[in-house]
Chain A
Amino acid sequence: MPVTFTFGEMLSARSVIGSTLAELGAEYPNLYVLTPDIGATLVEFRDGFPDRFIDVGLAEQACVGIASGLAYDGNIPVVSGMLPFLSMRALEQVRTDVCYPNLPVKIIGTHGGLVGNGGSTHYAVEDLTLMGALTNMTVTSIGDPAMVGEVIRQSMTMEGPIYIRLAVGKKDKVLYEPGEHDVRIGKGIVAREGTDATIFTHGTTVAQALDAADELAADGHSVRVVDMWTLKPIDEELVLRSAAETGGRFVVLEDHLAYGGLATRIADVVADNGVHLTAFERLGIPQVYAGFGEDQELREKHGYGPADTVAALRRAIAVQP
């Protein structure tokens, strides 16, 4: 079964946001979409429901605060924008105005990771640490465009807030056949079964992990690929089961700081449960401001590109318990 292929702009994640929200706007008369001037992909919703489309301009703090007020008032607000700004400039509004009263505000955005070539002003590389620290916040990172739509749909009935992290959107690959996996918030997806090692990842690097698993399969190694798209609450059962079923060999790959994101969450599960791993490798962004370059170039430069992924898996598999 083909797993990854480029599906083009029509099914890219950002247009999935727009069309999904437009569908949901008809279903939910109390659905509002707010944006700080990042509304280009929300045209369908804007045109369909102009009274419920609020573009505040360059004002992330007010954007999240207004979303909070709408939610207090019984509405379902979706804030869509660029994640470096929503997760940092508006962090206190997210924490105090949304998470503290546990309001059903959805924060969806792009530019998670070293994508878009905007430089460190425009890369959200700390966001999963920041959002993950917030009580009541559900934290997700999604690579598959169809899944984005599905998760937005599921989020409509959530009581509390959710953070949905995307990369760039337009180049996102379709990873899964429709209906191939049971998509449920809080449950990881076993994108590929395997027994020698597990690679955990999320978002835009799932495709890279699958490619690495293919390469190792050619050498007779069986690598499990887990798309841990819900980082919080993490699927603890799947982490523990994978430790038991794949020789205690873990590699964690993410387009985020290597410390403070998924790798840290998995290490917490492992430590809290007294599990002794055979191998544990983190592939992610080191503590640097990453500079300019295309996504792939930056991943390679900073040590978490395709070749690094294959090498880390080979090292993990070579370790004997």
Chain B
Amino acid sequence: MGRAPLTATDERRSVEELEDLAFELREKLLHLCGTYEGAVHIGGDLSAADIFTALFEYGMNVDPDNISNPERDRFVLSKGHAAVCMYIAMAIRGFLSYDEIVETYGQLDSAYGMHPCKVQLPGVEASTGSLGHGLPIAVGMALGARGRGDDHRVFCLLGDGETGEGSVWEAVMAARSNKLGNLVAFVDRNRQLMTSFAEERVMFEPYPDKWRAFGWNVVEIDGHDMSQLVAALDALPASDSDTPTVIVAETVKGKGVDFMERNLAWHAGSLGAADLERALAALNDSREKETV
């Protein structure tokens, strides 16, 4: 990565450690989904859990002792409905309190809501939730870094569905035009919209080619393979290079819980006690299968 880590005591995580952390993130997500009575966007949280883990625990240079360290890498959650996955990933990394998240999520005056709010939770980089807004904001942050000569990166996580929004492609052009090699977009390519499967309603394919045609550096990976996530992050071009990078991460919506995987019903939902147990058992099973 080139730069010295902001937290000198941190050692780089191994792939195995990262896999354990991703498991912990999924477990905690399910617990929240079984605690909170309203709907949690669990499908798109689970599809992005490995990406979040790879970013917060490995790829991004962040400082849990100083959440607003000016040298930190920035993270813009464009798919804002995965806020709870970001909160918990940040809690696991040491920024936020998981207990506080679980105890207050979605309640009156809580900092933790369905979509992240910078005013209520200053630790997040931007208020997002309306789809197609995050990448332009990330472009602005990357321009700001360039303007000051800072060498941190700006990461932005998008869902593939939201790349139907025209504003995404406006930002894609702006990033290339302004030579923002310090910008890294992740697309959580789970191939599901809220109410349909992507290619049935909206033909995104040839998807990586669309980004290539706009002049981006395109990396295609399995978004649930931690070693591929790590390799993609290790191979990022220097932040002072000219070409923005997109990592198109093929994922499965609901990943890790068999009855949620690729199931349109589980875009969002809540888990009663029995189903929480069932979900946690399924999550354990899926890990055992992968270990085998």
Shortest CB–CB separation between residue B175 and chain A, in angstroms?
9
Assembled-state Cα–Cα distance A62/B167 (Å): 6
A30 to B143, CA, bound (A): 11
Residue of B nearest to A100 (CB): B127
Which residues on the A side are within 8 Å of B137 (C-beta)?
A: 65-66, 68-69, 72, 97
Considering the chains assembled together, what is the distance between the CA atoms of A68 and B177 in angstroms?
Answer: 18
Q: Are A93 and B147 in contact (CB under 8 A)?
A: no
Q: Which residues of B contact A92 (CB under 8 A)?
A: 130, 133
The CA of A32 and the CA of B147, in the complex, are separated in Å by 10
- CB of A77 closer than 8 Å to a CB of B: yes
B167 near A93: Cβ-Cβ < 8 Å: yes
Q: A92-B130, A101-B118 are in contact. Are A59 and B174 (CB under 8 A)?
A: yes
Is A65's CB under 8 angstroms from B147's CB? Answer: no
Instruction: Pick the contact of B171: A51, A66, A75, A102 (CB < 8 A).
Output: A66
B141 interface neighbour in A59, A70, A101, A102, Cβ under 8 Å = A70
With a cutoff of 8 Å between Cβ atoms, the chain B residues found around residue A70 in the complex are 140-141, 143-144
> A52: CB under 8 A from chain B?
yes
The answer, yes or no, to whether A57 is at the interface (CB within 8 Å) is yes
Q: Is B38 an interface residue (CB 8 A)?
A: no
Q: Contact at A72–B140, with CB atoms within 8 Å?
A: yes
Residue of A52, A62, A71, A73 most packed against chain B (CB within 10 A): A62
* Complex interface: chain B residues within 8 A of A66 (CB): 136-137, 139-140, 143, 171, 174
Residue of A51, A52, A72, A77 near B125 (CB, 8 A) is A72
- The answer to whether A62 touches B119 (Cβ under 8 A) is no
* CB of B170 within 8 Å of the partner chain: yes
Q: How far is the CB of B21 from chain A (nearest CB, A)?
A: 28
Does B126 reach chain A (CB closer than 8 Å)? yes
Partner of A93, one of B119, B133, B143, B177: B133
User: Chain B's nearest CB lies how many Å from the CB of A60?
Assistant: 8
Query: Least Cβ distance of A92 to chain B in Å?
Result: 6
- Report Cα–Cα, A271/B150, bound state, in Å: 53
Kindly list chain A residues whose C-beta atoms are within 8 Å of the C-beta of B178: 54
Q: How far is the CA of A77 from the CA of B138 in the complex (A)?
A: 14
* A69 touching B136 in the complex, CB below 8 Å, given contacts A92-B130, A93-B167: yes
**Which residues of chain A have C-beta atoms less than 8 A from B125's C-beta?**
72
Question: Which residues does chain A contribute within 8 Å of B177, judged by CB atoms?
Answer: 56-57
Q: Are B144 and A73 in contact (CB under 8 A)?
A: yes
Taking residues whose C-beta sits less than 8 angstroms from the other chain, chain B's interface range is 20 to 34
Contact partners of A59 in chain B: CB under 8 A? 167, 170, 173-174
Q: Which residues of B contact A100 (CB under 8 A)?
A: 117, 119, 127
In the complex, how many angstroms separate the beta carbon of B57 from the nearest chain A beta carbon? Answer: 24
> Could you say which residues of chain A place their CB within 8 Å of the CB of B144?
69-70, 73-75
In the complex, residue of chain B having the shortest beta-carbon distance to the beta carbon of A71: B140
**B127 in contact with A101 (CB, 8 Å):** yes
Q: What distance in Å separates the Cβ of B6 from its nearest Cβ neighbour in chain A?
A: 17
Closest residue of chain A to B118 (Cβ to Cβ) is A101
Within the complex, the shortest CB–CB distance from A276 to chain B, in Å, comes to 40
Q: A94 CA to B141 CA in the complex, in Å?
A: 17
The chain B residue sitting closest to A49, CB to CB, is B147
Which residues from A are CB-within-8-Å of B119?
Answer: 100-102
| B257 interfacial by beta-carbon distance below 8 Å | no
Asked whether B55 is an interface residue with its Cβ less than 8 Å from the other chain, the reply is no
A93: chain B residues within 8 A (beta carbon):
133, 136, 167
Residue of B129, B132, B140, B141 ringed by the most chain A CB atoms within 10 A? B140
Give the contacting residue for A73; candidates B117, B129, B133, B145; CB below 8 A. Answer: B145
The answer to the question of B164 belonging to the interface, with a C-beta cut-off of 8 Å to chain A, is no
Specify which chain A residues have a CB less than 8 angstroms from the CB of B118 in the assembled complex: 72, 101
Using a CB–CB cutoff of 8 Å, the interface residues on chain A facing chain B are 30, 32, 51-52, 54, 56-57, 59, 61-75, 77, 92-93, 96-97, 100-102
Closest 8 CB pairs of A and B: A69-B140, A65-B136, A73-B144, A62-B170, A59-B170, A69-B137, A66-B140, A61-B167
The 19 sampled A-B contact pairs (Cβ below 8 Å) are A54-B143, A56-B170, A59-B170, A62-B139, A68-B126, A70-B140, A70-B141, A70-B143, A70-B144, A71-B140, A72-B126, A73-B144, A93-B133, A93-B136, A96-B129, A97-B126, A97-B133, A101-B118, A101-B127
